[in-house]
Structure 1
Amino acid sequence: MSPGASGETVICVRGLKNSFGEQIVHDGLDLDVKRGEIFGVVGGSGTGKSVLMRSIIGLQVPDEGEITVFGENTVNLDENEAVNIRKRWGVLFQGGALFSTLTVAENTQVPLREFYPGLDQALLDEIAAYKVVMTGLPADAGPKFPAELSGGMRKRAGLARALALDPELLFLDEPTAGLDPIGAAAFDELIASLQQTMGLTVFLITHDLDTLYAICDRVAVLADQKVIAVGTIDELLALDHPWIQEYFRGPRGRAATATLEHKQHAEQAAKRATEHTGAED
């Protein structure tokens, strides 16, 4: 099934309002995320991308509006209801947000200990080891502390923790920020692969145009305290909103387009070569 093909809405936001004192961040924001898609969220500084994510996962109580995840209203849930729904998602915060005094393996075990306190230590170690390797870290990364890892490895360790409970829904906040282009591309490929193998729905905040072009099925644009547009990259490019045009058609946007086109042409050439070789055999 292709991403979003089921038509099922996993995240639904209606009439969201968030403010901090006199500053209004969101006012009447609406948003829908479909099951199985990688959904990108972009916007200028101060448009409230992270605040939106924090509202959805219950870390920010909105002033107004309704948020449903998996059909459940997540605003003002009681503790038991909150626990049940939080088991179904994982979150990678900016920078990984690892506990500095815990090893990578111990960080990965945190959600397991929180939601399933009776698990045997041997099983916890086994699950953590599997998640570490799943995210592309070497097996010997488990006993290391965050300070012993590179920035890219810390991101992957944070991702291992986010995937500890085999979630259906994955939240990523600027996952490639601070990574070099090669590391960022590798992380994008990892997310795309995990989305396919685990059947994830991914809510992805990013300013990385390469990420948007490479793996996002749809993208939402935040501006003027709302979501002003949602669609594929091609659909957004057809809009005449000045910020969207400047963002996607500026120098960085043109570079991302050229990179994607080059990759597509290379893949097509490799496919034709394979087919030609097969025909000769």
Structure 2
Amino acid sequence: MSEDISTPDPQFPIRVRDLVNAFGDQVVHESLDLDVRKGEILGVVGGSGTGKSVLMRSIIGLQIPHSGEIEVLGSSITSAQDDADIRIRSRWGVLFQGGALFSTLTVGENVEVPLREFYPEIHDTLRHEIARYKVQLSGLPAEAASKFPSELSGGMRKRAGLARALSLDPELLFLDEPTAGLDPIGAAAFDDLIHSLKETLGLTVFLITHDLDTLYAICDRVAVLADKRVIAIGTIPELLATDHPWIQEYFNGPRGRAALDTHDRAAAAPATATAG
């Protein structure tokens, strides 16, 4: 039987118990449990169809689960009624795949959307200043705020989406395949940005990815979805100590070995430079 989560625990801003998600006869999740620790970057991996995005959408209230309990920042998401959870929604930011920007709005106007929704009393001038600051915080030049999404590269659109996710100074950041479609240099730069923001802003990050380089570079722990549930969660060395075939194939396959080699060389570089 799963541990009860009726009593909030500040050390675990996200807690999921006995989650069931089903679409008709297709059961995606069954008796899924998950705890996300405060201040960590949790990588979420799994094969195609394991429901990684469905799990994220359930946690942020966009997917109504068949059953189970989800608690975010001490508030029940599964028992929220209508807009009763609007306060809690202002405490997280979400970067969907591709950025999900409004094409008819400029980057700055996209960033202002959550500000208009949750803080309509803010003066236009201040709202514009906040938006420009968030654009720069995401690694974009200030002038990008006046551009439309169609005028940006794929990597810049992701950063614009990140700026919008950060607009309300969230405590939690949800990222769905943030480096998908980026070249290796762009993906590494985005990883570095996420890690820096986590450290600077004190974020807790829920990161769905298939990018093994990302897992090795910035994730504190990794949760593995398979068999309709979280089959294992821990550091990569801890996961490698398990004997589940998918975990072994994923981390010990050619791409997994290449990612480990890249990680080991990056970790050794500072020591080599110091010694020189």
Q: Report the TM-score range of the alignment, normalised by the length of the smaller protein.
A: over 0.9
State the identity as a percent. Answer: 71
Distance 2:206 2:83 in 1: 24
Out of 178, 183, 188, the residue aligned to residue 185 of structure 1 is 188
Residue 109 (str. 1) matches residue 112 (str. 2): yes
Equivalenced residue count is 268
Distance 2:108 2:236 in 1: 38
Does the 8 Å contact 2:107/2:149 carry over to 1? yes
TM-aligned CA deviation for residue 7 of structure 1: 7.7
Cα-to-partner distance string for 1:199-229 (whole Å, 9 max, x where unaligned): 0000000000000000000000000000000
The DSSP-based 3-state class of the residue aligned with 2:49 is: coil
Distance 2:192 2:57 in 1: 25
Cα-to-partner distance string for 1:61-81 (whole Å, 9 max, x where unaligned): 000100001111111313453
Does the 8 Å contact 2:10/2:73 carry over to 1? no
Q: Which residue of 1 aligns with 2:252?
A: 249
Distance 1:110 1:71 in 2: 26
TM-aligned CA deviation for residue 82 of structure 1: 1.1
Letter in 2 for 1:101: T
Q: Which residue of 1 aligns with 2:21?
A: 18
Does the 8 Å contact 2:16/2:32 carry over to 1? yes
The DSSP-based 3-state class of the residue aligned with 1:62 is: coil
Residue 196 (str. 1) matches residue 199 (str. 2): yes
Distance 1:111 1:272 in 2: 49
TM-score (ref. length: structure 2): 0.95
Out of 77, 81, 84, the residue aligned to residue 74 of structure 1 is 77
Residue 45 (str. 1) matches residue 22 (str. 2): no
Distance 2:129 2:275 in 1: 43
Which range moves more in the overlay, 6-15 or 23-32?
6-15
Q: Which residue of 2 aligns with 1:57?
A: 60
Distance 2:65 2:27 in 1: 11
Q: Which residue of 2 aligns with 1:228?
A: 231
Which range moves more in the overlay, 36-45 or 70-79?
70-79
Q: Which residue of 1 aligns with 2:139?
A: 136
TM-aligned CA deviation for residue 271 of structure 1: 3.5
Unaligned runs of 5+ in 1: 1-5, 274-281
Moved over 6 A (4+): none
Distance 1:65 1:139 in 2: 44
- Structure 1 residues 80 and 22, CA gap change in structure 2 (3 angstroms): closer
Q: Which residue of 1 aligns with 2:208?
A: 205
Residue 167 (str. 1) matches residue 175 (str. 2): no
Cα-to-partner distance string for 1:10-38 (whole Å, 9 max, x where unaligned): 10000000000110000000000010000
TM-aligned CA deviation for residue 51 of structure 1: 0.1
The DSSP-based 3-state class of the residue aligned with 1:191 is: helix
Cα-to-partner distance string for 1:105-164 (whole Å, 9 max, x where unaligned): 000000000001111110011000000011110111000000000000000000000000
Aligned CA-pair RMSD: 1.1
Letter in 2 for 1:164: S
Mapping for residues 258-277 of structure 1, pairs under 5 Å: 258-273=261-276
Q: Which residue of 2 aligns with 1:91?
A: 94
Distance 1:195 1:18 in 2: 30
TM-aligned CA deviation for residue 252 of structure 1: 0.2
Q: Which residue of 2 aligns with 1:277?
A: none
Distance 1:64 1:218 in 2: 26
Q: Which residue of 1 aligns with 2:6?
A: none
TM-score (ref. length: structure 1): 0.94
TM-aligned CA deviation for residue 239 of structure 1: 1.0
Unaligned runs of 5+ in 2: 1-8
Distance 1:184 1:129 in 2: 23
Cα-to-partner distance string for 1:223-281 (whole Å, 9 max, x where unaligned): 000000000011011111110000000000000000000001102222344xxxxxxxx
Letter in 1 for 2:92: W
